[in-house]
Amino acid sequence: MTSTLGTVAAEVLDVCSSPGVRNGPHRIFLLSPANASGIRAKMLFSHRSQFDLAVRVRDTGAPLGEIYTFISGLYFRGKLAYSRSFLNPPHAVPGIHIITPAAGLIVPSMRVKLDELQRISSAEVDSKNRVYRDPLERDAVCLKAMIEEGTQVVLLGSIATPKYVEPLLEIFGAQLVFPEEFVGRGDMSRGGLLLRSSEENRQLNYIEVAHAVRHGKRPGKLAPRKRLDRDSTEVL
């Protein structure tokens, strides 16, 4: 599989058709990967599974964004919806990049088949693991060269550990930011927050990762909504 940076055209089409804010500084998003060791991932990896996505992944491939949304549910769907709403990339640069465990950065529209999915999910996401870190650094360096100095690189993922922060901060420096509202929240709470913000066209407050509080007091729960998320039992 080629790097995401060799597949710009499909993602540029996504940028042109996506709603949301397009003014202000240029902005791209880096999304942390879904956990490929959970129950849903095992269902998807099973050759006995006959539901639509599993069949497509085996036969023709499916977009990585759709696959990770299925595996992760609310959290990844929130990340994808939010980034599509608020991306504002420089010309001809993909606005959304998924961090993968063993294949660097891949755009959500990249179609992958089962063997490719298993390969890109095969490494441990650890800043000391070169199988994970080397492709990530390779693609991040290429991406850095494609964007101007004022472009915000928004990390939608945890900064509580060095697994994303350490390699990305070395390359992007002060350009690497994340939503301040993430501090202290768990994955499900972050997913709900991102979906709400996307629906309300309300952008979160970005702060530099380099100067951020990595561990903070857990904020109050999101106020219940009248409807439930269609793929989760969590109240949004």
Closest by CA to 33, choosing from 143, 112, 93, is 112
Q: To the nearest whole percent, how much of the chain has pLDDT over 90?
A: 69
SS3 helix, strand, coil % of the chain, rounded to 5?
Answer: 45, 15, 40
Domains in the chain: boundaries? 4-211
* Amino acid occupying residue 3: S
* pLDDT tens-digit series, residues 15-67: 433 444 466 799 999 999 998 888 999 999 999 999 999 999 999 999 999 99
* Amino acid occupying residue 51: F
pLDDT at 8: 41
Q: How far is it, in rounded angstroms, from Cα 216 to Cα 11?
A: 35
Length of the chain: 236
* pLDDT tens-digit series, residues 113-145: 999 999 999 999 999 999 999 999 999 999 999
pTM higher than 0.85? no
Phi, psi of 36 (to 5 degrees): -90, 15
Let me know: does 157 contact 127? Beta carbons within 8 Å: no
pLDDT at 3: 52
pLDDT at 23: 67
Asked which of 82-91, 144-153, 177-186, 193-202 is least confident by mean pLDDT, the reply is 177-186
* pLDDT tens-digit series, residues 214-228: 544 555 555 565 444
Let me know: does 154 contact 206? Beta carbons within 8 Å: yes
Task: Using the structure block, give the residue that is written with the tokens 């990770």.
Answer: 68
Q: How far is it, in rounded angstroms, from Cα 152 to Cα 204?
A: 13
pLDDT at 64: 97
